[in-house]
Amino acid sequence: MAKDKIKNDNILLIGFMGSGKTSIGLKLSYKLQMAVEDTDKIIEARENTTISDIFATKGEGYFRKLELELLYEIRNSTNRKIYSLGGGTPVQLQNQSIICQCGKVVYLRAKPETIYDRLKGDTTRPLLQCDDPLSRIKDLISKRSFAYERCADFIIDVDDMEQSDIVDRIVEFINVDEVNDENSCN
Ligand code: S3P
C-alpha cells in the first residue's frame, strides 16, 4: 500500500492469530534494541480484563473500536517502536491506511494447518472457540489474506522457519528499506 504520509517509523507485525507476532516481536526487540508493544496487551491492561472477557461482555464491535483508537494513537505518537497487532486489526478497510501510516509493515504469513497445530487447545482466542476450529481458521484466512497482503511491505512465509531466521529476514528487510529511503528523492 502507498506510504505517502508516514508520520512514524515503527515496525508493525501483522498476521493471523498464532502466526508468531508476539514472540517474533520480542526477539526482534532484543535484536534491534527497540521497545516492543502488543496491542492486545495494551487493550487488556486499559480495560483491566482479558480479550475473551471483552468479547463476551461488550462484544467484538467494542473491541474493534478500541483497536482503531489505539491505531490512531500509534500513528500520532513520535516514539519508534515495534508493535504486534491483533490478528484482526488489518481487516477493517478504515484501519488499513492508518496501519500503513504507522511505519513498516511485516506480514507473518502462515498456512491454516500451521495455525491449527499451534493453537490447538488454546482458549484465549474467542473467534476460535467452536466445534471445528480448523474450518474456521481456513475460512477466516481466506477472507483476510487480501487485507494482510494489502497492508504488507514485506511478507514472510513462516511455516517452516526458525524464529531466529524470521527475525534475521526482518532485520535485513528493515536495513535495505532504510537505505532505499535515504537514497529516495521524495
Ligand atoms: C483476533 C486476534 C487476536 C485478538 C482477538 C481477535 C482476530 O490477536 O486481537 O482475539 O480477530 O484475529 P492475536 O492475533 O494476537 O491472537
User: What is the model's pLDDT at position 175?
Assistant: 86
Quickly tell me which residue has 507476532 as its cell.
21
pLDDT for residue 60: 97
Question: pLDDT band for position 8 (50/70/90)?
Answer: confident
- Strand, helix or coil for residue 109: strand
| C-alpha span between 46 and 66 (Å, rounded) | 10
Percent of the chain beyond pLDDT 90?
A: 88
* DSSP code, position 170: H
Instruction: Tell me the average pLDDT of the chain.
Output: 93
Instruction: Work out the pLDDT band at 71, boundaries 50, 70, 90.
Output: very high
pLDDT of 67 > 50? The answer is yes
Indicate if ligand 1 lies below 6 Å from the C-beta of 87.
yes
Task: State the pLDDT at residue 186.
Answer: 45
Distance 88 CA to ligand 1 centre (A): 6
Rounded Cα distance, 142 and 62, in Å: 24
Looking at the predicted structure, is the pLDDT value of residue 112 above 70? yes
Q: What pLDDT does 10 receive?
A: 96
Give the pLDDT of residue 81: 97
**What is the structure's pLDDT at 6?**
52
Q: What value does the mean pLDDT take over residues 103-132?
A: 96
Confidence check: pLDDT of 134 > 90: yes
How does residue 149 score in pLDDT terms, banded at 50, 70 and 90? very high
Mutation probe of ligand 1 site: the residue of 125, 130, 140, 145 with most atoms within 8 A of C-beta: 125
**What percentage of residues in the chain have a pLDDT greater than 70?**
91
Specify the pLDDT at position 176: 78
15 lines ligand 1 (CB under 6 A): no
Q: Is the pLDDT of residue 100 over 70?
A: yes
Q: Which of 39, 51, 85, 91 to mutate to test the pocket of ligand 1 (most atoms within 8 A of CB)?
A: 51
Whether 106 and 156 have beta carbons less than 8 Å apart is answered as: yes
Distance 128 CA to ligand 1 centre (A): 10
Among left, alpha and beta (phi > 0; psi -120 to 50; other), residue 73 is: alpha
Task: Of 59, 60, 56, 94, give the one whose Cα is nearest residue 75.
Answer: 94
